Structure 1
Amino acid sequence: MISTKLGNKQIKTLKIIGKKIGVALFWLLLWAMAAWWVDSSLVLPSPIDTLKGIATLAGDAEFFVSIGVTLLRVFGGVFISVALGIFLGLIGGLNAPFYEFMNPFVSIIKSLPVVSVIILINLWIASGIVPLVVTFLICFPVTWTNVVQGVHATDEKLLQMAKVYNVAKMRIVKDIYIPSVKPYAVSALMNAIGLGWKVTVTAEVLANALPSVGMNLYYSKIYLDTDLLFSWTFVIVMCSYIIEKVTLFMIERNKRKGADQCQLS
């Protein structure tokens, strides 16, 4: 019985993987056909030309330095924005005066174009730090808003019960508010990772931050090296995808550990 269930699960997993591979191959074939029809690597390089470009880039140590520095900026900006967003979001959700104090700042940052934020920040600080600060400013409102919504969505019945039994405020925050906020915080984290990559690379280009992936993209465009432009773009997409999947894996792993601990207790 157990072996049958495992077999069905494996078959289902293989089908899902097969579908994903099929979809990926379809889009690669479409890309290859479009490149063949255009017949100009200057306008649209083929998938093979793009892979050759990646192989060329990988042979230079500067390639890994650029990726490493950009990753540090992405992780730094996202981590600070999520950490502060969760902390201040919890306070904002629980304290109306603090929410009213912070909300105008968050609303202004949300409404400002990314380019305006980058240009303004570039006037005040060194170009190498601009991408990190801009990533923080753009991702912070996402986390803040989600966490505040999570606090406001907390089950009122649980709060009333805690009030009846005179549960300590810190215990209410730990055992009621934080579990309610967790799904919202996870959603904010995933959005921040995707947004962080876009904002960081854009800021690197506009702020002339070196070394960086963004400036390599810019140089590829300036020198009309479309093969390398596509190669760098592919590298950005893959890095973002891998980070997102690893983050999801870690979150699911922590969930399973938490569930196992609850069962044991």
Structure 2
Amino acid sequence: MMISTFLDNKLNKQFQKVIKNIAIALFWVALWALAAQWVNSPLVLPAPLATLQGVFVLAGDFKFFVSIGSTLFRVFGGVLISVLLGYGLGLIGGLYHPFYEVMNPFVSTIRSLPVVSVIILINLWVVSGVVPLIVTFLVCFPVTWTNVVQGVRSTDPKLLQMAKIYNVDQKKIIRNIYMPSIKPYAISALMNVIGLGWKVTVTAEVLANALPSIGMNLYYTKIYLETDLLFSWTLVIVICSLIIEKVTLYMIARNNRKGAV
């Protein structure tokens, strides 16, 4: 009986959360619709329905999916490389101060450079199709590196002292003490670089003229004053970003549940 009541309460809370999110989304869509009606110019601000219709029009062309796939490849490629290298090098940087001192000027320089400057510089050296991937890596790497280093340095010194007293192997110290300390910082970095990766990739696609891509389709709609399709492509970006974020959160939660068992 108690288990049944608990499950019912949990389902009710989830249902209420879904209803609340739908209500909030409908509020902003209604506000958008009112603004579009007030402006009364699809060239300036298309209505939500016209934007949604534009998505279906775009989806009728196979190039639409090719563009999305190409952009997703660049986003995932840049983010994956930045996370893997940032995690590995950040762990080394947190453990060995001389290595941190060598890497820190490079990371600080990359972090301080404007994204536009990075895109233009990289575009001088490599083909346009690869520019977004490299730029995404360069912009996201400092975020992962910094978080992992901070995670290593925030490790409980009492645990490290205990491991030293009992002569625990260095590999076990890294796996059983440092890794759990780094985990929340690494997850925070991952969520940040996923959102940042989307913005940087699309921006780099526009400035580097990378084809095929979502960024260039945005640029073409702007050039040809197809505002409704510009909003449609923007909606596609938002939807893809939300899906990736939700899937990532689900995978992290699932991994945490497995670790707790």
TM over 0.5: yes
Which residue is 1:77 aligned to?
A: 78
Cα deviation for residue 11 of structure 1 reads 1.0
Which residue is 2:15 aligned to?
A: 14
Residues 125-145 of structure 1: CA distance to partner in whole angstroms, max 9, x if unpaired?
Answer: 000000000000000000000
Which residue is 2:177 aligned to?
A: 176
Distance across 2 between alignment mates of 1:127 and 1:2: 58
Which residue is 1:122 aligned to?
A: 123
Q: CA RMSD in A?
A: 0.5
- 3-state SS of the aligned residue for 1:224? coil
- 3-state SS of the aligned residue for 1:127? coil
Cα deviation for residue 102 of structure 1 reads 0.2
Letter in 2 for 1:28: V
Residues 237-263 of structure 1: CA distance to partner in whole angstroms, max 9, x if unpaired?
Answer: 110110010011001101111111xxx
Identity level (%): 73
Letter in 1 for 2:39: V
Question: After superposition, where does 1:106-145 map in structure 2 within 5 Å?
Answer: 106-145=107-146
Distance across 1 between alignment mates of 2:24 and 2:35: 17
1:150 aligns with 2:167: no
Question: After superposition, where does 1:246-265 map in structure 2 within 5 Å?
Answer: 246-260=247-261
Cα deviation for residue 14 of structure 1 reads 1.0
- 3-state SS of the aligned residue for 1:93? helix
Q: Which runs of 5+ in 1 are unaligned?
A: 261-265
Letter in 1 for 2:107: V
- 3-state SS of the aligned residue for 1:56? helix
1:42 aligns with 2:43: yes
Which residue is 2:210 aligned to?
A: 209
Distance across 1 between alignment mates of 2:15 and 2:213: 38
Residues 68-101 of structure 1: CA distance to partner in whole angstroms, max 9, x if unpaired?
Answer: 0000000000000000000000000000000000
Structure 1 residue ranges, 4+ long, deviating more than 3 angstroms after superposition: none
Letter in 2 for 1:151: V
Cα deviation for residue 2 of structure 1 reads 1.1
Q: Which runs of 5+ in 2 are unaligned?
A: none
Which residue is 2:199 aligned to?
A: 198
Residues 207-241 of structure 1: CA distance to partner in whole angstroms, max 9, x if unpaired?
Answer: 00000000000000000000000000000011011
1:186 aligns with 2:190: no
